[in-house]
Amino acid sequence: MDESKYIKFISNRKQVVLNIDSILYVQISGKNAEIHAAKNKVYVTRMTLAELQDMLGYSFIKIHRGCIVSAMAIHDITDKIELINGEDLEYTKRKKKQIIEQFRLIQRSIVNSFSDDNIPSTKEEYRKHYSTFDKLPFAFTDIEMVFDEEKHAVDWIFRYGNSALAELEKLPLEKLIGNSFGSLFNNMDSKWLRTYERATLYGEILEMIDYSPEIDTYLKIICFPTFKGHCGCILFDVADIEFTQNSDDAPKALERYLNGFRITTTEIN
């Protein structure tokens, strides 16, 4: 374990060892520091913001006197700091230019650090790597995130897709693979972008159930990290999914699933 990528602290009378890359932001509340991490986890510990800033390193930006935020967690900076998990944070407006410059510098460093090691370099290599996905009865794709000059995620490129993906997207694979989503669909909805960016940068497994105006279909999408700068997506047309109850435990399992879905939806909106 690379100890430089982890911090240790006491929370709720237990020692916590936390990967720095999983931390979204830290907020001071009274004499306590609230560490907000991926997967909706919050840890409370007795530590000053300065101490935590020293432990977390250069990739965290101080946005006001009581808060530091990971540059990797920032989706955009407008009137508020917009995070990739949908949360908004207030910041010191008179320091907006300084915060944006620091964010761009760190984000550029993060994106440039994406390694090419073991990433397929041709369409044939991608097909070989994902050959077991070719005949799956549901759509699957590996996408590479596209970042602009300021290192904001702005689009993605289809690097692999199976025949079920072509059927769902209503386009032949020859047209999909190697092209960006934005170049194929002029009515691109940015809601997908934030979720894919979050899976790519934070390594989370995320689910979306939403309407796709691009193909006029209600979709269920499960996305997860694959290569550096990439994520994989499993896509279903919700009209094709039918829930079956095979035991008395099924409704309880479904209720737990839907309760978790409602929590995530509330936080994003």
pLDDT at 228 over 50: yes
- Fold of the 3-112 domain: OB fold (Dihydrolipoamide Acetyltransferase, E2P) (2.40.50)
The residue extents of the domains of the chain are 3-112, 123-240
pTM for the model: 0.69
SS3 content of the chain, % helix, strand, coil (to 5): 35, 35, 30
191 vs 79, more confident: 79
Please state the φ and ψ torsions of residue 39, each to the nearest 5 degrees: 65, 30
What pLDDT is recorded for position 266? Answer: 39
Total residues found in the chain within this entry: 269
Give per-residue pLDDT as tens, 69-118. 998 888 889 999 999 888 999 999 999 999 998 988 887 777 777 666 68
Domain 123-240 bears CATH identifier 3.30.450.20? yes
Query: How far apart are the C-alpha atoms of 16 and 170, rounded to whole Å?
Result: 48
